[in-house]
Structure 1
Amino acid sequence: MSRLCRFAIASDLHIALPHTIDLTKPRFHLVEASVPALEAMLAHLEQLDLDCLFIPGDLTQDGERDNHHWLIEQLQKVSFPVYVIPGNHDVVKPTGNDAVIGLDEFAALYQPFGYDDPQQLWYSREIAPGVQLVGLNSNQFDATGWQLGCLDQPQWEWLRENLPQWRDRFVIVMIHHNIVEHIPQQSTHPLGRRYMLDDAAPLRHYLNEQGVRLVLTGHLHIQDVAEADGITEILTGSLVGYPHPYRVLELHDDGIHKRLKMKSYRLRSLPGWEDLPAASRQRTQENSFPFMSRFVSLPPLNLKGDEMIATAHQLQSFWADMAEGDRTFSFPQFPPHVRSMLEAFSATHPIDNNATLRF
């Protein structure tokens, strides 16, 4: 069995220098730890003989110009190639201003990290012999400036022109929004669908037609591996959110199949956060009630009043448990319809963190 390449994935860095952080805003993730978290992860990755690092979006907290420039400076010091794409937090406006960058600036700013055309927000690179990376942009804006999650027509045309020529290679697609569901009814649930690409199904079908089998995403801040329409999607949780994961993967060719060996790591301690998982999990629990109360009040549960409040309080650990991946849920204290819906979030196979996938 020959090794084709070894790469890392770190997603949703949400880099925020201290002067850019609004500490009054409640968050699930520890954005205050974003700078030391990145430094600690990169220090570890430098020891691992990597071919490259993939970062599938949300590089910064909210597109702040200072945060982008700081991150670019750090990534330029790394000894291996780094490939990035924009997330919805990186480009909060079509055009920038003194405080934030615009979508129209992203490719030029990140030209050293995959972009050969400073005017084009998608690209492709042969990252190893026979292994092709396709980096896509899932951030668009409508005429009113509202941010969307979809591919634009020029990007679709580029894919149709170029993917057929890479059929003899192992193609890895990187995109911020999910194109495979990672939670039950994600594409239709009011809270879940905003993490899905609007044109997820057409993209899955086209990639499958062209022999693409692997997609890397972020955005949802959980560790999960899911499959649909012949596409396996590896979703990597946020580096600044519990449980602070990142991945290292080795792609092998055994002469018949490609095998992808995946190992996940977690940050355990940072300066000021000696027990990082405990502090982070507590943050998630403390800020979970508004999210969980909305979650259980929406279809299909439609809980109201005291039942909604009591259920949401009992679910304060639910999202942190989801973010870990490979979790099995049991809620015997809830009525049958609530119990069955929540237990459907259980992992069916333990492949979210460490596994060998075959293609």
Structure 2
Amino acid sequence: MSPDDSRDGPAGVAEGPGSVLAHLDRPAGERARIAVVADPHVATRAEGTSKLFERTLEHFEAAIADIGARDVDAVLSPGDLTKDGEPWNYEAVDEALADLDAPFFAVPGNHDVPKERDEHETPELDRFTERYTPDDPLSRGPDGLSFRTRVGGLDVFGLNSAGTAERLFDSHEGHVEANQREWLADELETAETPVVLVHHNLPAITGQLDAHREAVEPEFADIPAMADPEPFVETLADGDVELVLAGHYHIPAAGVSEGVREVTVPTTCSFPQSYLLLDVTPEGTTVRLVPVADDTGLESAHARRVGDSPTARGLTSVAAARLARFPLVDER
């Protein structure tokens, strides 16, 4: 891939690599470029499945290397950095990030936090806070993992929906606790351009998968989703959050829940092996999907994923359908 570092395009739209996923009216304002990397599931001692465990580190390293040439102001991740929170996989993530010349901020995914079936000792979540959240956040949520920081003209909020050693350790579902929602509501009162980073998805995106199950793939499994999402969505709507960035489902997608815009970030681990690049300008935000594999890699990942299980096949179908009709949103 040959980097194109230009930020200034025609009509004020920043140029960049990849395909346009969305042209959004908001966020708008001070120019900023942000990369978003989701669900790398880095695994250095596993192989197989549609996640291509044996290539997860290679894909993550490719994403970080490419991002390093894009002149970004920050890199965000909605989590699932590791296969299942293994210490050796966290070490591999840290090594891949060592040469990144930009801040890296993440919230945990359901695979990053302790689970009762784990056969290893997952690192304390203080380590996650120390390594992957701002050193000096403008504010930190009550669980220690949620945060508020500033990137360009954006107020970026990271929310932990994945749990801790005390909650959701027996489930891969998500939930944003009441005390986190209260913290977020208070912080949103002073935010000018709020963007929220969270692992689990809002109802509009989950509804797209439900629709696929009903119309196309009856054996498509119920993927663990955000439980009781309505109070969280209400907090986002009341605070006029301009954009939510989530991962979890491994697909590129866009949706609106009670007036709140979500863009779902595809995984780097399996098809379509990509990250998102957001260019914020005074006219709005352009979201681009940037692949981290060549044609053969993408084709191989597609073949592996459609042959894995009805759920993997269904997610691949949804991803392919979304890719075929880019841009998914054009508000300009």
Tell me the TM-score range normalised by the shorter chain.
Answer: 0.7 to 0.9
Shift of 1:326: 2.2
In the alignment, does 2:284 pair up with 1:230? no
Q: What is the rounded CA distance, in whole Å, between the counterparts of 1:263 and 1:185 in structure 2?
A: 21
1:233-284 Cα offsets, whole Å, 9 max, x none, are: 0101110110111111111224xxxx11111111233xxxx81012111211
Residue 170 of structure 2: aligned partner: 146
Residue 150 of structure 2: aligned partner: 126
Residue 233 of structure 2: aligned partner: 204
Three-state SS of the structure 1 residue aligned to 2:203 is: coil
In the alignment, does 2:70 pair up with 1:41? no
Q: Pick from 184, 204, 213 the counterpart of residue 181 of structure 1.
A: 204
Structure 2, gaps ≥5 residues long: 1-11, 13-28, 214-218
- Give the TM-score normalised by structure 1: 0.73
Q: Pick from 307, 326, 331 the counterpart of residue 350 of structure 1.
A: 326
Residue 221 of structure 1: aligned partner: 250
Question: Is the Cα contact below 8 Å between 1:225 and 1:234 reproduced in 2?
Answer: yes
The letter of the residue matching 1:29 is: K
Three-state SS of the structure 2 residue aligned to 1:260 is: strand
Residues 316-335 of structure 1: pairs in structure 2 closer than 5 A: 318-326=314-322
Shift of 1:140: 2.4
Structure 1, gaps ≥5 residues long: 293-315, 329-348
Q: Give the direction of change, closer, same or farther, for the CA distance of 1:223–1:140 in structure 2 (3 Å limit).
A: same
- Give the TM-score normalised by structure 2: 0.78
Q: Pick from 62, 69, 84 the counterpart of residue 91 of structure 2.
A: 69
Residue 280 of structure 1: aligned partner: 301
1:10-51 Cα offsets, whole Å, 9 max, x none, are: 10011111xx21x4xx62221211111122222211221111
Residue 275 of structure 2: aligned partner: 246
Residue 29 of structure 1: aligned partner: 51
Q: Give the direction of change, closer, same or farther, for the CA distance of 1:114–1:174 in structure 2 (3 Å limit).
A: farther
Three-state SS of the structure 2 residue aligned to 1:165 is: coil
Q: What is the rounded CA distance, in whole Å, between the counterparts of 1:144 and 1:77 in structure 2?
A: 33
Q: Give the direction of change, closer, same or farther, for the CA distance of 1:98–1:183 in structure 2 (3 Å limit).
A: closer
Residue 101 of structure 1: aligned partner: 123
Question: Is the Cα contact below 8 Å between 2:104 and 2:132 reproduced in 1?
Answer: no
Q: Give the direction of change, closer, same or farther, for the CA distance of 1:143–1:99 in structure 2 (3 Å limit).
A: closer
Q: What is the rounded CA distance, in whole Å, between the counterparts of 2:77 and 2:58 in structure 1?
A: 17
In the comparison of the two structures, how many residue pairs are matched?
Answer: 295
Which structure is richer in relative contact order (CA contacts within 8 A, separation 6 or more)?
2
Q: What is the rounded CA distance, in whole Å, between the counterparts of 1:72 and 1:50 in structure 2?
A: 19
1:176-205 Cα offsets, whole Å, 9 max, x none, are: 000132254657989676443213222112
Q: What is the rounded CA distance, in whole Å, between the counterparts of 1:159 and 1:102 in structure 2?
A: 24
Residue 5 of structure 1: aligned partner: 32
Residue 17 of structure 2: aligned partner: none
Question: Is the Cα contact below 8 Å between 1:12 and 1:239 reproduced in 2?
Answer: yes
Q: Give the direction of change, closer, same or farther, for the CA distance of 1:60–1:181 in structure 2 (3 Å limit).
A: same
Q: For the aligned residues, what is the CA RMSD?
A: 3.1
Q: Give the direction of change, closer, same or farther, for the CA distance of 1:49–1:185 in structure 2 (3 Å limit).
A: closer
Residue 54 of structure 1: aligned partner: 76
Q: Which structure's CA Rg is the greater one?
A: 1
Q: Percent identity?
A: 24
Q: What is the rounded CA distance, in whole Å, between the counterparts of 1:323 and 1:106 in structure 2?
A: 30
Q: What is the rounded CA distance, in whole Å, between the counterparts of 2:174 and 2:253 in structure 1?
A: 20
The letter of the residue matching 1:128 is: G
Question: Is the Cα contact below 8 Å between 1:222 and 1:325 reproduced in 2?
Answer: no
Residue 260 of structure 1: aligned partner: 285
The letter of the residue matching 1:155 is: Q
Q: Give the direction of change, closer, same or farther, for the CA distance of 1:241–1:196 in structure 2 (3 Å limit).
A: same
Q: Give the direction of change, closer, same or farther, for the CA distance of 1:174–1:111 in structure 2 (3 Å limit).
A: closer
